[in-house]
Amino acid sequence: MNDNAPEIVLTSKPNPVREDAPKGTVVALISARDLDSGNNGKVSLELKSGPPFTLKPSFSDNYALVTSGVLDRERFSEYNIEITATDSVPELVLEKTLDREKQGIHQLLLTALDGGNPVKTGTSKITVTVLDNNDNVPVFKKPLYKITVPESSQSGLMLAKVEATDQDEGVNGEIEYSFADHTPEILRSIFQINSATGEIFLKGKLDYENFATHELDISGHCRVQVDITDFNDNAPEIVFTSQPKPLLDTRMWK
């Protein structure tokens, strides 16, 4: 008599998976059983197409569930996987590339079907956590910042603040601001940047007569253009374009 539903047993806890894990990475080991005898006790595992996981034989009658494509959290936050269970030990294995930024957690619903009539089923949920990989570059809010500064500005003045975001998490998502490697020393002597906040300060003295504009490249595809307005700090100068000539005194001839 088919009075027992098949049971799915996780023989290992689902392992968190890095989003750069290669195809075929084992996520979990699964087994299924049915206490009925004969055809009523026969259990098979079958994974429906769609979710980025698949069952693969590992050894003997054992199987693995693997990812089969890029995961997209914006499209699917939960995957319902129906599996027909045999009396083997399947593995949950990675088959497709993971993307933690699109979906960090995958919830899988496994369903076991027996061979009885009527068919009885058993279900089990598996949660797969995707670990971050440093695969995103910082993105600045603006590629170009333009500011205007008086030539008379004093050292210590904050000129601008550049801001960037990184979709990675933890230390992979932390941003350190710096001038690009090719920044000349003369600019580094005039300007400085706070590596933690992105604030740019005036460090040295501005000179409109030498440079009316400075361009600062920030590591990560960002530029700050500093335009300097003139300050009346120079007195007029008289220049003789020719040597004065002596004049003849004609009074003695009168």
pLDDT: is 43 or 58 the higher one?
43
Tokens for 69, please give them.
Answer: 């494509």
Q: Give CATH for domain 7-87.
A: 2.60.40.60
What was the pLDDT predicted at 53? 76
* Chain length of the chain: 254
How sure is the predictor about 145, in pLDDT bands with cuts at 50, 70 and 90? very high
pLDDT tens column, 74-131: 455 445 555 545 444 455 666 666 776 677 777 777 666 666 677 777 676 777 777 7
pLDDT: is 160 or 114 the higher one?
160
pLDDT tens column, 193-252: 999 999 999 999 999 989 999 999 999 889 999 999 986 555 567 666 767 777 666 665
Q: Compute the Cα dihedral for 71, 74, 78, 80 and give only its sign.
A: negative
Contacts of 102 (CB under 8 A, 6+ apart): 70, 71, 72, 73, 74
What was the pLDDT predicted at 204? 94
Q: Give CATH for domain 139-229.
A: 2.60.40.60
Answer whether residue 71 shows pLDDT above 50: yes
What was the pLDDT predicted at 217? 96
Q: Read out DSSP for the chain?
A: ------EEEESSPPPPEETTPPTT-EEEEEEEE-SS-GGGG-EE----SSSSEEEEE-STT-EEEEE-S---TTT-S-EE------SS--EEEE-S---TTT-SEEEEEEEEEESSSS--EEEEEEEEEEEP-S----EES-SEEEEEEETTPPTT-EEEE--EE-SS-GGGG-----B-TT--HHHHTTEEE-TTT-EEEE-S---TTT-SEEEEEETTTEEEEEEEE-----------SSPPPP----GGG-
What was the pLDDT predicted at 28? 73
pLDDT tens column, 230-240: 865 555 676 66
Report the distance separating Cα 35 and Cα 66, nearest Å: 28
Closest CA to 42 of 65, 61, 66: 61
The domain spans of the chain are: 7-87, 139-229
Which of 11-20, 151-160, 195-204 is predicted with the least confidence, judged by mean pLDDT? 11-20
Tokens for 102, please give them.
Answer: 């699109």
What was the pLDDT predicted at 79? 53
